Structure 1
Amino acid sequence: MGSYDAAVKVILSHCRQAALEYFLGLEVVESEIVELPQETASLRRSDFPIRVRPPEGRLFIVLLEVQSRWEPELPLRLLEYDARYRLKTGLSVLPAILLLTPIGAVVERFEDEGLSYAF
């Protein structure tokens, strides 16, 4: 984990509602970090899985990934986390990446042989 990643994770652990509102434009009434579903053998886990309740009351999960640099496999990892949380909680999932350094290779959609995933 890079020093940017560690610093942002500490900040977000203390002010996640403000971060959700600022970075994603979400109005949040309450939020809490949720546990990783354990049905899988994968050791990877989402940085910040957050259960969110907006003013209209519909609960959903925000998967906030904090990255200091872009990695080409990041969309597939996010899709893996997304599927695990949907199956475990039965809630809708909003996947998001907080990329801390600018780079030109970033994508917001992954498509491959019938699979289309936007984040």
Structure 2
Amino acid sequence: MISLQKSFYLTAKNLSYFCNLPVKKALLLDPRPQETPSLRRSDFVLKTILADGSEIVVLLEFLSSWKKEIPLRTLECRIRHILQESLPVKTFVILFLPSPKATYFYRDEEVHFKFNLVKLYEVPAEEVLEKGPECLLPFLPLFKNGKSLIDEAERKIYQAGLSRQSKADLLTGMAILGGLVSEEIPLKLIQRRRDIMIESAAYEIIKREGYEEGLKKGIQEGIQQGIQQGIQQGIRQGLLEAIELGLKLKFGARGVKLYPAIARIDDLESLRAIKQAIEVAKDLKEIEELIP
């Protein structure tokens, strides 16, 4: 889901819309090494440059359904990034599905913390379809009345002056997210637009999770797994790119020779450890010892 994320999760236009911020540019920060196995991160940590040139850190958490621990987890992430980045931090939780228990604050006898809770299901889909850029259309099924506008959104994507790859990513994204609210949306899109959707990297997730063969069996679980898998793939790719650059800059050709072996590593914690080691290592052997 790497290309899918770049297409609609991390664009400045989407960040401006969801967070109501005048975003000029947003850069995904590399994940920091974990201090403990339980340390929690937001889905996306973005160093954001606003229209006036000021910089802030935006924490984005995407939730398909509400969990009671979200406010406290959100507070934990916010405090950690204030200390790490020494910049103002704004926190946004994007909630896909309705929940009567969803809240935008945490309070106990010592702390009162508020964050920004964006309930997609309360935002009129008509507004997004009429005024929003194409990169918002994959989210349309989750907006209020969005299910009734899927056909129009599909046509808008198909007729847009975008590359075929972008159309494939957007249509596949709409199929994945649409499956959270209706079994029919992914089936319909796959049946009608398979010729384009198969060109999207995210389409492989649909096939692996059995959307074509078993859409009517536990579709929500499969889609949630697909979304989470896409997020993990995006983080892994970011780490690999940082590692490759670090090896090249610090150790030259000798360092680059290690990259193919590192690129076969799936474990994110191992990749984080290697990235951190490159920053402080004095000898290439220190890196080699971390490669399984």
Instruction: Calculate the TM-score normalised by the size of structure 2.
Output: 0.36
> Residue by residue, what CA displacement relative to the aligned partner does 1:36-83 show, whole Å, maximum 9, x if unpaired?
333631342210111101011110011000000111100111111111
Does 2:100 align with 1:104?
yes
CA-CA distance at 1:13 after TM superposition: 3.3
Alignment of 1:27-42 (within 5 A): 27-38=22-33, 40-41=35-36, 42=38
1:98–1:30 Cα change, 3 Å:
same
Identical pairs, percent: 30
Match of 1:64 in 2: 60
Give the aligned partner of residue 161 of structure 2: none
> Does 17-26 or 62-71 show the bigger shift?
17-26
3, 20, 42: which one aligns with 2:15 = 20
Q: Which runs of 5+ in 1 are unaligned?
A: 1-6
Instruction: Give the structure with the higher percent helix.
Output: 2
- Report what 1:4 is aligned to: none
| CA gap 1:47/1:58 in 2 versus in 1, 3 angstroms | same
Superposition pairs for residues 44-55 of structure 1, below 5 Å? 44-55=40-51
Secondary structure of residue in 2 paired with 1:29: strand
Does the CA-based 8 Å contact 1:52-1:59 persist in structure 2?
Answer: yes
Over aligned residue pairs, what C-alpha RMSD do you find?
1.9
2:35 counterpart letter in structure 1 = T
Structure 2 CA distance for aligned equivalents of residues 55 and 68 of structure 1: 31
* Length-normalised TM-score, structure 1: 0.84
Pick the structure with more strand per residue: 1
Consecutive unaligned residues of structure 2, counting only runs of 5 or more, are 116-292
Structure 1 position 85 matched with structure 2 position 81: yes
- Bigger shift: 93-102 or 29-38? 29-38
Shifted more, 11-20 versus 65-74: the winner is 11-20
Separation of aligned partners in 1, 2:16 and 2:4 = 14
Match of 1:3 in 2: none
Runs of 4+ in 1 over 6 A off after TM superposition: none
Structure 1 pair 10/113, CA: closer, same or farther in 2 (3 Å)?
farther
What's the counterpart of residue 113 of structure 1? 109
Tell me the number of residue pairs that the alignment of Structure 1 and Structure 2 aligns.
Answer: 112
Q: Taking CA–CA contacts closer than 8 Å with sequence separation of 6 or more, which of the two structures ends up with the larger relative contact order?
A: 1
Which residue of structure 1 aligns with residue 119 of structure 2? none
Indicate conservation of the 8 Å contact 1:37/1:88, yes or no. no
